[in-house]
Amino acid sequence: MSEFDFDLFVIGAGSGGVRASRIAASHGARVALAEEYRVGGTCVIRGCVPKKLLVYGAHFAEDLKDARKFGWDVPDCKFDWNRLRDNVLAEVDRLEGLYGQTLDNHKVTLFKTRATVVGPQKVRLADGQEISAERILIATGGWPHVPEFPGSEHAITSNEVFHLETLPKRVVIAGGGYIANEFAGIFNEFGSKVTIVNRGDTILRGYDEQIRDRLLQISMTKGIEFKFNAPFQSIEKNDDGSLTVHLDNSEPIQADAVLVAAGRVPNSKGLGLEEIGVELDKDGAIKVDEANQSSVPSIYAVGDVTNRIQLTPVAIREGQAFADSVFGGKPTVVDYANVPSAVFSHPPIGAVGMTEAEARNKLGSIRVYTSDFRAMKNVLAGRNERALYKMIVNAATDQVVGLHMIGPDAPEILQAAAVAVKAGLTKTDFDNTVALHPSMAEELVLLK
Ligand code: NDP
C-alpha cells in the first residue's frame, strides 16, 4: 500500500494536463486532476477550437461573395453573431463533456476546484482538504497579459472575446501577434471596422519577413487599419458606452470593443510554488529540464506554464513524454526542432523551420525559392489576392530547412510538407515528386 493518496496529482486540465493524466493512468498510476475552471483548458474552451470555428464562420463572408462568380445566385446575406457565438459555445460544451468522459474512462479522479501546492508531495484544495501524491504535475497553462495603463479594465482579452453580447461595430486590437491578426481577420469579415495597434513596427515577430509583409498588405487591402509604434496611453469610457483609445504618437480612436492581445504569461502565480522552492524564471515560467522536472524533484511541469513553445500540440507532447517517462518505463524527450505553426488569419499562414533571415545567420550559404501566385479559385472569383510560398534550402547539403506559406489552406498543406522538412528531405526530393494537378500544394514541388 502506497503512503500517498495518489501516485500523481495534476493541476490544470488543459491539453498538457489531460494528456499526462490519461496516459499516466493507462500506465497504471493512480491519478488525480484538479481544475478550477473548465476541463479542456485554453485550447478547447477559449482558444484554438472556438477561434477556428469563428474563422470558418468568418470565411463565409468571402465565400458567399465569390459564389456569385461561380454561378450561384446569392442574395445579400446578413450575419448573426449571436447565432454563431451560441453554436460555437455549444460545441465547446460538447467537447468539454468528451474530455470529462475520457478522464472518467481512465479512472482519473477529477476535483473541480482550485488546488495549490503546500509541500513537495502535498496539495491543498480550495476547501482546505490536503492530498498527498508521490509526484505533482503543474499544467496550469498561460494567461493573457494586459499591460498596465489607465482604463485597461475596459479592454477584453481572448478570454472574453468568445462571449461578446453583440458584434462590435468598431474594434481596436492591441498587439501584432497571433491573436491580434486572427481576430482582426475574423471581425473584419463579420463587417466590423478593425484597427490593429502595435507598440512596435512588426507584426508576427518570428515569422518570415516576406510572409508577414504579404499578410500586412492583404489585410490592409481588406480594410484592416494598422497603427505602428503607437503604445496605448489610456482607454476612456464614454457616456454612450463606447470607448476612446488614446495612443502615443497617434490620434485617439473610437471603439465599441478593445481587445488586448499582448502575449500570454505563465499561469504560475499563487500556486505556492516559490514557497516550496520551485524555481521560476523572470517571466514566472517554471524552470524545467528536458524531463519536465522542476528544481523540486517530485514536481514536474508541462505546457505554457513552462513557456517553451506556447502551442497546444507541444503541450500534449510534453504531457505524453512526462507520463511515458515517469510511469511507462519509456524515457521520452520532446524534440523541439522544426515544430510547424500556423496563423489562422485571412488568408492563413503556415510555417516550419528557419526563416530566410535565420538561415542566413546560421548557415551562411542558402538558396531561396519562392512562388508568388494567385490561387485558381481567387482568379475566377476576381479576388486580387496572391499566395506566397517560400522554401529555404541549405546550399551545402540541398536540405530544405524552412517552408513558409501564406494563402488559402496554407496550414493544411504545410502540415504534410512539414513531415518532409522534419525528415530532412532535400530540394531534389521535392523536385522528384510529381505534382498533384491542379492544386495549390503542387507549387511546392515546382519551385524553380
Ligand atoms: P504574441 O506573442 O503572438 O504577440 C504578442 C504581441 O503583443 C506582439 O505584437 C508584441 O509586440 C505585443 N506586446 C507584447 N507585450 C506588449 C506590451 N507590454 N505592450 C504592448 N504590446 C505588447 O501573443 P498573442 O497574445 O497574440 O498570443 C499568445 C500566444 O498564444 C502566442 O504566442 C501563441 O504561442 C499562442 N497562440 C497560438 C495560435 C496559433 O497557433 N494559431 C493562435 C493564438 C495564440 P512585440 O512584437 O513588439 O513584442
- Does some domain include residue 1? no
- Does some domain include residue 335? no
The residue written with cell numbers 454561378 in the block is 71
Residues 122, 40 within the same domain = yes
In the prediction, which pLDDT does 335 show?
A: 98
- Does some domain include residue 318? yes
CA–centroid distance, residue 179 to ligand 1 (Å)? 7
Residues 30, 61 within the same domain = yes
| pLDDT tens, residue order, the chain (448 aa) | 789 999 999 999 999 999 999 999 999 999 999 999 999 999 999 999 999 999 999 999 999 999 999 999 999 999 999 999 999 999 999 999 999 999 999 999 999 999 999 999 999 999 999 999 999 999 999 999 999 999 999 999 999 999 999 999 999 999 999 999 999 999 999 999 999 999 999 999 999 999 999 999 999 999 999 999 999 999 999 999 999 999 998 899 999 999 999 999 999 999 999 999 999 999 999 999 999 999 999 999 999 999 999 999 999 999 999 999 999 999 999 999 999 999 999 999 999 999 999 999 999 999 999 999 999 999 999 999 999 999 999 999 999 999 999 999 999 999 999 999 999 999 999 999 999 999 999 999 999 9
Cα separation, 427 vs 405, whole angstroms: 16
Residue 173 backbone zone (phi > 0: left; psi -120 to 50: alpha; other: beta): beta
Residues 21, 126 within the same domain = yes
Residues 10, 139 within the same domain = yes
Specify whether the CB–CB gap between 97 and 87 falls below 8 A. Answer: no
Which residue segment(s) compose the domain that 283 sits in? 6-143+265-327
CA–centroid distance, residue 348 to ligand 1 (Å)? 16
Residue type, 28: G
Catalytic residue check, 437? yes
In the prediction, which pLDDT does 1 show?
A: 75
Atom of ligand 1 nearest to the CA of 48: 42
The residue written with cell numbers 464562420 in the block is 57
Atom of ligand 1 nearest to the CA of 262: 7
Residue type, 220: M
**What CATH number should be reported for the domain holding residue 123?**
3.50.50.60
Residues 97, 45 within the same domain = yes
- Does some domain include residue 30? yes
- Among 238, 262, 286, identify where a domain stops: 262
- Does some domain include residue 257? yes
Residues facing residue 372 across a β-bridge: 388
In the prediction, which pLDDT does 285 show?
A: 98
Cα separation, 63 vs 390, whole angstroms: 26
Contacts of 47 (CB under 8 A, 6+ apart): 41, 158, 312
Number of domains composing the chain: 3
In the prediction, which pLDDT does 404 show?
A: 98
- Residue 309's Cβ-side half-sphere holds a number of Cα atoms within 13 Å equal to 17
- Our answer on whether the CB atom of 147 is closer than 6 Å to any ligand 1 atom is yes
Nearest to 225 by CA among 161, 172, 156: 172
Residues 32, 79 within the same domain = yes
